[in-house]
């Protein structure tokens, strides 16, 4: 066992034992209490001790138990007795505060069971520590309210609402469901909600109604992606109804051509074109459906809402009655959502956002199992390293050159493992040639935090890092 440092400055190490799994470290506080907590008198007398066992951070894969030899005092002034306070210890949980902090961080990327095993506690304790940790994070971490907000759906065990900052490609909140009440409550308590200018969403009425009620100033935009995919769905419906009238052999051919049909015309290669021509000659309805799909996409080639609306009307008139049934969903959606759909032409949502969110949605199902919604939400919003513009946290700072070479900082004690026990040494001060000048206390400024970066999150999930 190498030289070791417990690195809890408020405690002296009295003894040390180890077995196969555990370190047992006997400690006592460095400073005795100087006054009675009841009457503040300094007239104290020792009144026995008791041993308190608390868990500490695992070290080198060993679980660590601290046996604190806690002193009890009697106050001569008020005759009451008390135990000394234990700095750095969470007495409620019988663990070092730094262990609770570490467990909270770990619980964001690992299962509660694996942490319980490593620390030597129950999963119940891990869950309780995790909840406290997340509550602390909620207080500390405050995401900027997006000017361009996205409300979408994400599947985590069941459909959830995901709130995004579109300009920054980040997620700022996950809502347990997609109900109007849930969205209303979220928006109502959102600081700076009056500064939201645009909300991009799918055609989901509860989102629309919640925004109208709480942030009426925001322009609602339906993203192109959500509209044009309805044209693909319509084409699929035509293809599927056609299949039913075919022989098994013909069906297999049509199945293979599904991907060709879904391609945009400009992306077809010679082989695709040949296949498509073959099918559309034999099955004119399929050819018509393909034309309608392409022409519907083409509505989005214009940059003006008026032009888009007139293209839509032209398009609608050109739907042949035989396949009209497949396109009624689009007609209804356009009718019910025409203003938000047309708003897109003045305020297009960037494709970067839509694409990166879709990539995230594709990897999301790797997260789901074994976690509660609260744990999943915390993983997504608070995973370490996921934030765009993190809260300012001092960087790890290398010691100045004159203080390396084994010269400890004056005033700090260090513990070394010598001859079977810990020894506390008071180090010599560093050489005087280059005095250590502490930096003036800097004003800690909060950097803006835009939320969990969607691309980083996707990569971390793919790599199994959260
Ligand atoms: Zn007293």
Quote the ligand 1 centre to 47 CA distance (angstroms): 13
Quote the ligand 1 centre to 73 CA distance (angstroms): 10
Mean pLDDT score of the chain: 85
> How big is the chain, counted in residues?
466
Spatial contact of 164 and 149, defined as CB atoms under 8 Å apart: yes
Quote the ligand 1 centre to 45 CA distance (angstroms): 11
Quote the ligand 1 centre to 71 CA distance (angstroms): 16
Quote the ligand 1 centre to 293 CA distance (angstroms): 85
CA dihedral 362, 368, 372, 378 (to 10 degrees): -50
Quote the ligand 1 centre to 381 CA distance (angstroms): 48
| pLDDT given at position 279 | 81
Residues with Cβ within 8 Å of residue 380, at least 6 apart in sequence:
171, 174, 367, 386, 452, 457, 466
pLDDT band at 416 (very low <50, low <70, confident <90, very high): very low
pLDDT at 214 over 90: yes
Residues with Cβ within 8 Å of residue 89, at least 6 apart in sequence:
54, 68, 95, 96, 97
Most confident of 104-118, 196-210, 263-277: 196-210
Quote the ligand 1 centre to 97 CA distance (angstroms): 28
Quote the ligand 1 centre to 88 CA distance (angstroms): 24
Quote the ligand 1 centre to 72 CA distance (angstroms): 13
Quote the ligand 1 centre to 398 CA distance (angstroms): 46
Quote the ligand 1 centre to 38 CA distance (angstroms): 5
Quote the ligand 1 centre to 40 CA distance (angstroms): 6
Quote the ligand 1 centre to 84 CA distance (angstroms): 13
> Given its phi and psi angles, is residue 169 left (phi above 0), alpha (psi -120 to 50 degrees) or beta?
left
Quote the ligand 1 centre to 12 CA distance (angstroms): 26
pLDDT band at 80 (very low <50, low <70, confident <90, very high): very high
Q: What is the CA radius of gyration of the chain?
A: 32
Quote the ligand 1 centre to 307 CA distance (angstroms): 84
Quote the ligand 1 centre to 83 CA distance (angstroms): 12
pTM exceeds 0.85, yes or no? no
Q: How many angstroms separate the CA atoms of 327 and 234, rounded?
A: 6
Quote the ligand 1 centre to 85 CA distance (angstroms): 15
Query: In 3-state terms, what secondary structure has residue 11?
Result: strand
* Exposed e or buried b per residue across 340-356, where buried means at least 16 C-beta atoms within 10 angstroms of its C-beta: bbbbbbeeebeeebbeb
Residues with Cβ within 8 Å of residue 324, at least 6 apart in sequence:
none
Spatial contact of 296 and 313, defined as CB atoms under 8 Å apart: no
Quote the ligand 1 centre to 51 CA distance (angstroms): 23
pLDDT tens digits along 244-297: 888 887 777 776 677 788 888 888 888 888 888 888 888 889 899 999 999 999
């Amino acid at each position: 066992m190498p030289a070791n440092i417990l690195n809890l400055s408020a405690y002296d190490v009295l003894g040390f034992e180890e077995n196969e799994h555990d370190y047992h470290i006997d400690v006592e506080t460095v400073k005795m209490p100087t006054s009675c907590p009841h009457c503040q008198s300094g007239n104290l007398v020792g009144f026995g001790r008791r041993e308190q066992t608390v868990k500490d951070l695992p070290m080198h894969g060993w679980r660590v138990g601290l046996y604190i030899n806690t002193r009890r005092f009697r106050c001569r002034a008020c005759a009451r007795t008390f135990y000394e306070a234990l700095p750095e210890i969470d007495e409620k949980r019988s663990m070092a505060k730094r262990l609770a902090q570490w467990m909270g961080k770990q619980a964001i990327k690992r299962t509660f069971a694996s942490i319980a095993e490593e620390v030597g506690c129950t999963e119940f304790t891990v869950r309780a520590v995790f909840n406290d940790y997340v509550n602390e994070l909620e207080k500390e971490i405050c995401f900027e309210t997006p000017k361009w907000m996205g409300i979408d759906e994400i599947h985590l065990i069941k459909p959830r609402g995901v709130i995004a900052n579109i300009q920054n490609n980040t997620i700022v909140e996950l809502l347990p469901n997609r109900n109007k009440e849930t969205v209303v409550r979220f928006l109502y308590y959102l600081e700076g909600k009056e500064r939201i200018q645009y909300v991009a969403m799918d055609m989901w009425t509860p989102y629309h109604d919640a925004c109208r009620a709480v942030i009426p100033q925001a322009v609602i935009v339906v993203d192109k992606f959500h509209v044009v995919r309805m044209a693909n769905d319509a084409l699929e419906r035509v293809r599927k109804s056609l299949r039913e009238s075919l022989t098994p052999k013909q069906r297999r051919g049509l199945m293979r051509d599904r991907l060709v049909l879904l391609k945009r015309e400009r992306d077809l290669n010679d082989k695709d074109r040949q296949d498509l021509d073959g099918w559309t000659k034999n099955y004119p309805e399929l050819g018509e459906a393909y034309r309608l799909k392409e022409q519907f996409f083409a509505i989005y080639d214009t940059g003006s809402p008026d032009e888009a609306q007139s293209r839509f009307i032209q398009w609608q008139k050109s739907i042949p009655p035989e396949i009209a049934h497949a396109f009624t969903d689009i007609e209804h959606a356009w009718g019910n959502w025409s203003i938000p759909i047309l708003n897109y032409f003045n305020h297009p949502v960037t494709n970067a956002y839509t694409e990166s969110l879709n990539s995230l949605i594709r990897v999301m199902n790797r997260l789901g199992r074994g976690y509660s919604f609260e744990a999943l939400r915390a993983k997504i919003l608070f995973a370490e390293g996921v934030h765009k513009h993190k809260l300012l946290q001092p960087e790890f700072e290398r010691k100045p050159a004159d203080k390396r070479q084994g010269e400890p900082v004056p005033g700090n004690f260090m513990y070394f493992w010598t001859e079977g026990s810990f020894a506390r040494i008071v180090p010599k001060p560093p050489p005087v040639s280059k005095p250590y000048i502490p930096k003036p206390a800097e004003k800690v400024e909060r950097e803006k935090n835009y939320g969990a970066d969607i691309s980083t999150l996707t990569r971390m999930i793919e790599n199994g890092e959260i």
